[in-house]
Amino acid sequence: MFSLNKVSLDINEGQIFGLLGPNGAGKTTLISMLCGLVKPTLGHFTIDGLSYSNHSSKIKKIIGVVPQEYALYPTLTARENLHYFGSMYGLKGADLKDKVIETLDLLGLLKFADKQIHTFSGGMKRRVNLIAGILHNPKVLFLDEPTVGVDVQSKNAIIDYLKILNQNGTTIIYTSHHLAEAEDFCDTIAILDQGRIYAKGTPKTLIDATENARNLEDVFISLTGKDLRDVI
Amino acid sequence: MLYKIWMSIVKEFLLLKRDLGGLIILFIMPLVLVITVTIIQDSTFKTVSDTKIPILLVDYDKSSVSKTVFDNLQKNNLFSIVTQIDNKPITEEIARENVNKGKFQLAIIIPKNLSADLQAKIDQNVENIVNKMGFSDSIAKREKPKVIQQKEVKLYFDPAVQLSFKNSVMSSIDKMISQIETKSIYTTFQNQFGEENTQFEQQSFITFKEIIPKINNKEVLPNSVQHNVPAWTLFAIFFIVIPLSINIVKEKSQGTFVRLLTNPVSNLVVIIGKTITYSVICMIQFYMMVAVAIFLFPHIGLPALNIEGHLFLMSVVALFSGFAAIGFGILLGTVASTQEQSAPFGATSVIILAAIGGIWVPVFAMPKIMQLIAKSSPMNWGLEAFYDVLLRNVSFVEIIPKISLLFLFFIITTSIALFYDKKKRTV
């Protein structure tokens, strides 16, 4: 049994690449491998021409990861969390402090900088979670469902900020169940199911290539079916 | 790397500062523990105690032997003698009932005619000896000796009393009875010879004296504080396993650990950060407990802890014991998936390590197999190193083997944790 099977992908620099699929399709496994959390038993991949087997530390310096859960210390303030995670990327001193203030401000959280995370709403936590992954201006940013469970305002703030990051040269690899959001946000999409890539292309080419499809959701249902995908 | 370690330490201290429950476990509970246990142990073992254990004495003899037993028990500061309940004399039945219900811990039943029968038995024996030696009147007709039944002093113990208490009481009573018998034998011989100049010296010829070790020409008398403070300080230091393992499990469940794995920082830096933070906590715990034992104990009727010239070496032992506890905590936190696993397992394993390490029962008093197991307990290495420094006055060189074992334990447990974590992440 393989979580992923014969997955072959090229993601170009500067792309916003959407990885879509039902529950248990292998999206999180693929992202975890690309982030260096899980070692593949077979096959290989490179990021910016580097592989984990030889350049683990170099890769970790150029990637940013925004996990699905709020990976923050609830009893630390937003500022304390960001100072800590920023320092783990090698940032320090005034650079770190300024970067934290700048990003908190951009995402509308500066006035809550010294409040403990456990007092934040879901949307606020998501935004801090995002900032913790981008403080070091990563070349490649991995986002695992970054807008799940947040209000529309927070979702828009996150997507808008990600677009700014992308315009500044960050390649974004993103998973989501929000197909409309992905259709609007991503320039390339791969649909993954049962560990295989079923389709890959721009949202428009995928819609055009699928009979009777009006949007990405129709493409998704057409490729993955209507059966429930409950996984334990 | 140093900056990352520093920021990890700052983060750990901030997390601890905002965890009131954790702070209570780390700082208040060890103090409560060391004060409570030392007070209890001190009153159990000190010879001059304000608390006397009431015991029942049922005297069916009402003669010289029972009077001697009564006088000796009265003189013993450990007991107060009760001979009546509700102004009524106690019978064996009443005594047994009271002891079985736990109202009294001990009842002594002195049988009827004990003094008379003891004297008669001794008279018979002495007369026999004198006859064999040819001192008796050969013409006098010898009567057939009367059969005297053996006498039994009965002891009833509360079933809940500990074996050590029972053994100590039985040994005291046995000694008392032997002394009474010896005295009676001497007196009988004296009476047989019937002369003034045959006064026997009844004091023991062989006595014993404890030679107390001297440090700086001053005798260091071991007391309950000198024994208890190192033992329970060590116990408290090892309890750091619980908050530390919970801290690691929380990092895993919160996702912060996963985030750290994606950062350009090695797991070793994270572990070094935790080790330094919790080592500082261990040392604060240690100094707090030592300070309480030196400054507070004299105010609550306990002897002050005497650490004259030993503070540095004791600090070294505390630090290395802390390392061993931290290594165990890191391993437990890494292997456990939930706090429900790590907290009870941590608490139980620390108690087991304390038990086999000799915190409650000295290792020399354990069965052979347990003595061997004790030698492999890090708490035993720490305890022995503390005793070496505080009570045996050894030098730094002599504690190197024990602190090396403690450090080795830290290295091994931490390495297993790192290896386990790496393995677990490989699919």
**B205 in a structural domain:** no
d(CA B71, CA B221): 30
- Which of B70-84, B196-210, B383-397, B413-427 has the lowest average pLDDT? B196-210
Is the same domain home to B364 and B312? yes
Q: A37 vs B14: CB contact, 8 Å cut-off?
A: no
Q: B254 vs A72: CB contact, 8 Å cut-off?
A: yes
B260 interfacial to chain A (CB closer than 8 Å):
yes
Listed residues B198, B214, B247: the one ending a domain: B198
Measured between alpha carbons, how far is residue B149 from residues B116, B322, B376, B396 in Å? 12, 63, 53, 63
Beta bridge partners, B215, equal: B218
Nearest to B263 among A73, A89, A92 (CB): A89
**B232 in a structural domain:** yes
Spatial neighbors of B42 by CB under 8 A, at least 6 apart, are B223, B224, B225, B228, B302, B303
b/e string for B194-215 if b means 16 or more Cβ within 10 A? eeeeeeeeeeeeeeeeeeeeee
Provide the residue-wise pLDDT of chain A in tens; the chain has 232 residues.
Answer: 457 778 888 888 888 998 888 877 788 888 888 888 888 888 888 888 888 878 888 888 889 999 888 889 999 999 999 999 999 998 888 999 999 999 898 888 889 989 999 999 888 898 899 899 999 889 999 988 888 877 888 888 888 888 888 998 899 998 888 878 888 888 888 888 878 888 888 878 878 877 777 877 777 777 777 666 666 6
The pTM assigned to this predicted structure is: 0.75
Pairwise pLDDT comparison (B116 vs A1), residue with the higher score: B116
Burial bucket for residue B94 (CB in 10 Å: 0-12, 13-18, 19+): middle
Query: Residue A39: what pLDDT?
Result: 80
Is the same domain home to B40 and B65? no
Q: What is the mean pLDDT of residues B180-198?
A: 75
Nearest to B262 among A41, A65, A69 (CB): A65
d(CA B74, CA B128): 36
Is residue B2 helix, strand or coil?
helix
- What CATH number did the domain enclosing B146 receive? 3.40.1710
Pairwise pLDDT comparison (B246 vs A149), residue with the higher score: B246
- Which of A226-230, B195-199, B345-349 has the lowest average pLDDT? B195-199
Amino acid at A7: V
d(CA B63, CA B117): 11
Residues of B in contact with A87 (CB under 8 A): 3-4, 7
d(CA A146, CA A124): 12
A47 interfacial to chain B (CB closer than 8 Å):
no
Query: Residue B200: what pLDDT?
Result: 62
Pairwise pLDDT comparison (B128 vs A231), residue with the higher score: B128
- Pairing type for strands B84-85 and B88-89 reads antiparallel
Distance from CA of A123 to the nearest CA of B (A): 17
Query: Residue B197: what pLDDT?
Result: 55
Cβ atoms B169, B69 nearer than 8 A:
no
Query: Residue A83: what pLDDT?
Result: 94
For residue A84, the chain B residue with the least C-alpha distance is: B7
A120 interfacial to chain B (CB closer than 8 Å):
no
Is the same domain home to B171 and B86? yes
d(CA A124, CA B188): 98
d(CA A163, CA A182): 12
Is the same domain home to B189 and B127? yes
Query: Residue B152: what pLDDT?
Result: 86
Query: Residue B427: what pLDDT?
Result: 38
Left, alpha or beta for B393 (phi > 0: left; psi -120 to 50: alpha)?
A: left
Look over chain B and give the mean of its residue pLDDT values, rounded to a whole number: 83
pLDDT of residue B146 exceeding 90, the answer is: no
- Pairing type for strands A171-175 and B79-82 reads unpaired
Is the same domain home to B59 and B109? yes
Cβ atoms A136, A64 nearer than 8 A:
yes
Residues of A in contact with B258 (CB under 8 A): 37, 67, 71
Domain assignments of chain A as residue spans, ordered by start: 16-71+140-224
Cβ atoms B123, B182 nearer than 8 A:
no
For residue B19, the chain A residue with the least C-alpha distance is: A75
Q: What is the mean pLDDT of residues B9-33?
A: 85
Alpha helices in B263-338 (DSSP H): 267-291, 311-335
Is the same domain home to B177 and B151? yes
- Which of B45-49, B162-166, B198-202, B269-273 has the lowest average pLDDT? B45-49
B423 interfacial to chain A (CB closer than 8 Å):
no
d(CA B229, CA B280): 19
> Measuring CA to CA, which residue among A5, A149, A2 is closest to residue A68?
A149
Measured between alpha carbons, how far is residue B2 from residues A90, B49, B269 in Å? 11, 55, 9
Query: Residue B142: what pLDDT?
Result: 59
b/e string for B402-419 if b means 16 or more Cβ within 10 A? bbebbeebbeebbeebbe
Q: DSSP state, A174?
A: E
Full domain range(s) for residue B337: 2-45+224-424
Place of tokens 């080790």: B275
Superfamily of segment(s) A16-71+140-224: P-loop containing nucleotide triphosphate hydrolases (3.40.50.300)
Is the same domain home to B181 and B230? no
Is the same domain home to B263 and B125? no
- If residue B305 lies in a helix (H) or strand (E), which one and from where to where? none
Listed residues B198, B233, B260: the one ending a domain: B198
Beta bridge partners, B110, equal: B59
**B216 in a structural domain:** no
B252 interfacial to chain A (CB closer than 8 Å):
no
pLDDT tens for residues B295-345? 988 888 788 888 777 889 999 999 999 999 999 999 999 998 888 888 888
Query: Residue A1: what pLDDT?
Result: 47
Query: Residue B48: what pLDDT?
Result: 42
pLDDT of residue B47 exceeding 50, the answer is: no
Interface confidence (ipTM) of the complex: 0.84
Is the same domain home to B32 and B73? no
Q: Work out the pLDDT band at B370, boundaries 50, 70, 90.
A: confident
**B289 in a structural domain:** yes
Q: B264 vs A57: CB contact, 8 Å cut-off?
A: yes
Beta bridge partners, B58, equal: B109
Is residue B310 helix, strand or coil?
coil
Q: What is the mean pLDDT of residues B51-66?
A: 84
**B217 in a structural domain:** no
Q: DSSP state, A136?
A: T
Q: A87 vs B19: CB contact, 8 Å cut-off?
A: no
- How many structural domains is chain B composed of? 2
Is the same domain home to B62 and B158? yes
Is the same domain home to B13 and B126? no
Q: How many CB pairs under 8 A join A and B?
A: 79
pLDDT of residue B49 exceeding 50, the answer is: no
Backbone φ and ψ for B41, nearest 5 degrees, come out as -65, -40
Is the same domain home to B281 and B185? no
For residue B8, the chain A residue with the least C-alpha distance is: A84
b/e string for B221-255 if b means 16 or more Cβ within 10 A? eebbbbbbbbbbbbbbbbbbbbbbbbbbbbbbebb
A119 interfacial to chain B (CB closer than 8 Å):
no
Q: What is the mean pLDDT of residues B373-380?
A: 87
